[in-house]
């Protein structure tokens, strides 16, 4: 009799794995459009972000119960443009505590899309785990026609509860695509296919199943030299970005020196170029131990060291393929370890 029951249970679990081997996924809500509400169903761009509480988000997609045992935590309820390094560090500590719990198998973070890539990249660098951490948002509020949030959330839970998502780095789930946190970026500000990576998606989720086509080659999570547990302050060393254009002013950089920055990321034109009339100011700041990092305002490609600017001579760092907003975070983390320009440059090639 017992043998028959065991065989039956085994057969059933093979037929419907979700019924018998459901993982525990915690949804950590922070706000954004996925929690937004508009005045009417035709308001897909005019709405208020960060209104709907996490349990309402989960109740709106009951099908996630077929995928995993899901619980919700309301960590924040804000539009993501309002997230500062303080909220980022606090959120990372909360996620770190959650992944250490043996009964937590995966995490979904619902988040505004504006700074979603920063949060994803930061967690990719400082949370030591191989459990899936999936960041998800939406471009339309739940009140809009063809809202993208519910299916994005369903896909994110499917991904976070998938054993094959373990150890693949922090992931972003948007518009059916699985992206690596380190190279995903918001490239379109009003359409549901808003996110892309110049190196391509890692895979996709279709009808609750994950399909993988590549993996990141960069260090992340368990292989990172950074750890949120090593950060003893509530914020990070101050690093700011200056956007490059024609007709720049030295005062833009000197004002940041006055504000007490420890480094400046220059979102330069082209291959991270700095105008000749600005170079003396940057060299003066570098001499005063404010590290200069050359990123680019150009969304694709990567900044080549010593190509159009003598980085070795100036002691500057090239941000490689990291965009300015991610370069800012990596530089801030590097400064928590007092990394010099040489060490920082290694880090930009490593993460
Ligand atoms: N205010 C933006 C944010 O919270 C809304 C954009 C969105 O979440 O899609 O990031």
For position 13, what pLDDT does the model report?
A: 47
Q: Which two tokens stand for residue 326?
A: 């991610």
- Cα separation of 191 and 59, whole Å? 25
CB atoms under 10 Å from CB of 286, counted, come to: 17
Q: Is 113 a catalytic residue?
A: yes
Residues of the chain with pLDDT under 50: 13, 16-19
Q: Are 291 and 342 in contact (CB under 8 A)?
A: no
Provide the terminal-to-terminal Cα distance of the chain, rounded to the nearest Å. Answer: 55
Any ligand 1 atom below 6 A from CB of 33: yes
For position 53, what pLDDT does the model report?
A: 97
CA nearest 132: which of 224, 208, 25, 20?
25
Q: Are 281 and 274 in contact (CB under 8 A)?
A: no
Strands 263-268 and 239-243, how do they pair?
parallel
Q: Nearest 5 degrees, angle CA 34-CA 37-CA 42?
A: 105
- Cα separation of 114 and 139, whole Å? 10
Please choose from 112, 174, 185 the residue to mutate so as to test ligand 1's pocket, defined by most ligand atoms within 8 A of CB. Answer: 112
Alpha helices in the chain (DSSP H): 2-15, 17-20, 54-59, 85-99, 116-126, 149-160, 251-259, 279-287, 311-314, 324-336, 341-350
Per-residue model confidence as pLDDT tens digits over 197-217: 999 999 999 999 999 999 999
Q: Are 35 and 74 in contact (CB under 8 A)?
A: no
Any ligand 1 atom below 6 A from CB of 81: yes
For position 154, what pLDDT does the model report?
A: 98
Q: Which residues are annotated as a binding site for substrate?
A: 80, 113-114
- Cα separation of 71 and 25, whole Å? 7
In order of start, what are the domains of the chain with their CATH numbers? Answer: 21-223 (3.40.50.1170), 238-350 (3.40.50.40)
For position 21, what pLDDT does the model report?
A: 81
Any ligand 1 atom below 6 A from CB of 79: yes
CA distances to 28, 126, 142, 240, 299 from 123, rounded to whole Å, are 13, 5, 26, 19, 22
- Cα separation of 180 and 214, whole Å? 10
- Cα separation of 309 and 307, whole Å? 6
For position 40, what pLDDT does the model report?
A: 87
Reduce the DSSP state of residue 50 to 3 states and report it: coil
Q: Is 33 a catalytic residue?
A: yes
């Amino acid at each position: 009799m017992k043998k028959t029951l065991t065989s039956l249970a085994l057969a059933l679990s093979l037929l419907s794995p979700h019924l018998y081997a459901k993982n525990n996924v915690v949804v950590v809500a922070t706000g954004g459009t996925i929690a937004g509400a508009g005045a009417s169903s035709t308001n897909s761009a005019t709405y208020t972000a960060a209104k709907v509480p996490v349990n309402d988000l989960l109740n709106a997609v009951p099908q996630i119960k077929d995928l995993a045992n899901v619980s919700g935590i309301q960590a924040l309820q804000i539009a993501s443009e309002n997230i500062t390094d303080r909220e980022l560090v606090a959120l990372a500590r909360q996620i770190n505590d959650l992944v250490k719990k043996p009964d937590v198998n995966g995490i979904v973070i619902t988040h505004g899309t504006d700074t979603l890539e920063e949060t994803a990249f930061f967690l990719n660098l400082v949370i030591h785990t191989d459990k899936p951490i999936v960041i998800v948002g939406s471009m339309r509020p739940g009140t809009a026609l063809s809202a993208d949030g519910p299916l994005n959330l369903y896909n994110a839970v499917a991904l976070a509860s998938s054993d094959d998502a373990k150890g693949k780095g922090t992931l972003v789930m948007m518009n059916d695509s699985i992206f690596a946190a380190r190279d995903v970026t918001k490239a379109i500000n009003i359409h549901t296919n808003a996110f892309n990576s110049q190196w391509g998606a890692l895979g996709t989720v279709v009808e609750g199943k994950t399909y993988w086509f590549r993996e990141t080659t960069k260090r992340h999570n368990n292989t990172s030299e950074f750890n949120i547990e090593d950060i003893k302050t509530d914020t990070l060393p101050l690093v700011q970005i200056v956007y490059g254009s024609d007709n720049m002013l030295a005062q833009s950089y000197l004002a940041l020196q006055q504000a007490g920055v420890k480094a400046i990321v220059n979102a330069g034109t082209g291959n991270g170029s700095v105008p000749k009339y600005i170079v003396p100011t940057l060299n003066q700041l570098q001499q005063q131990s404010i590290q200069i990092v050359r990123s680019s305002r150009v969304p694709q490609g990567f900044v080549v060291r010593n190509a159009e600017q003598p980085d070795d001579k100036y002691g500057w760092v090239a941000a490689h393929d990291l965009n300015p907003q991610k370069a800012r975070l990596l530089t801030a983390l590097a400064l928590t370890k007092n990394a010099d320009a040489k060490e920082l440059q290694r880090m930009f090639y490593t993460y």
